[in-house]
Amino acid sequence: MKNHYPIVAGLLFFITGIIALKAQSPFNTNEKDNTLYVYSQESSHYKAADSEKDNILFHNSTGTVKDVDGNIYSTLKIVSQTWMVENLKVTHYRNGDEIPNIRDTTAWGRLTTGAWCWYNNNDSNDSVYGKMYNWFAVSDSRIIAPKGWHVPADDEWSTLISFLGKEDVAGGKMKETGTAHWNSPNTGATNESGFTAIPGGYRYTDNGSFRQMGNDADWWSTTEVDATYAWFRNIYYNFPVSGRYYYNKQNGFSVRCVKDQ
The residues pairing with 30 across neighbouring beta strands, listed in sequence order, are 35
Is the pLDDT score of 195 beyond 90? yes
Order of strands across the sheet with 242-248?
216-224, 229-236, 242-248
- Phi, psi for 14 (deg, rounded to 5): -65, -45
Contact 195, 83 (CB under 8 A): yes
Residue of 44 and 211 predicted with greater confidence: 211
Q: What CA–CA distance (Å, rounded) separates 225 from 211?
A: 23
What digits encode the pLDDT tens for the residues 83-120? 999 999 999 999 999 999 999 999 999 999 999 999 99
Query: What mean pLDDT comes out for the span 30-37?
Result: 44
Rounded Cα gap, residues 135 and 246, in angstroms: 11
Asked if residues 83 and 193 have their Cβ atoms less than 8 Å apart, the reply is: no
* pLDDT number for residue 60: 58
Answer with the residue of higher pLDDT: 136 or 9: 136
Local confidence band at 43 (pLDDT 50, 70, 90 cut-offs): low
Cα–Cα dist 203/132, whole Å: 8
Report the pLDDT averaged over residues 178-194. Answer: 97
Contacts of 80 (CB under 8 A, 6+ apart): 29, 31, 34, 36, 159, 163, 261
Amino acid at site 95: N
Q: Which of 90, 225, 240 is nearest to 169 (CA)?
A: 240
* CB neighbour burial string for 32-46, b if at least 16 within 10 angstroms, e if fewer: eeeebbbbeeeeeeb
Residue 233 contacts residue 243 (beta carbons within 8 Å): yes
44-73 residue pLDDT tens = 444 555 544 444 444 557 999 999 999 999
Neighbours of 244 (CB within 10 A): 15
User: By percentage, how much of the chain surpasses pLDDT 70?
Assistant: 77
Q: Looking at residues 253-261, what average pLDDT do you find?
A: 97
Q: Strand, helix or coil at 18?
A: helix
The string of pLDDT tens digits covering residues 214-223 is 999 999 999 9
pTM as predicted: 0.80
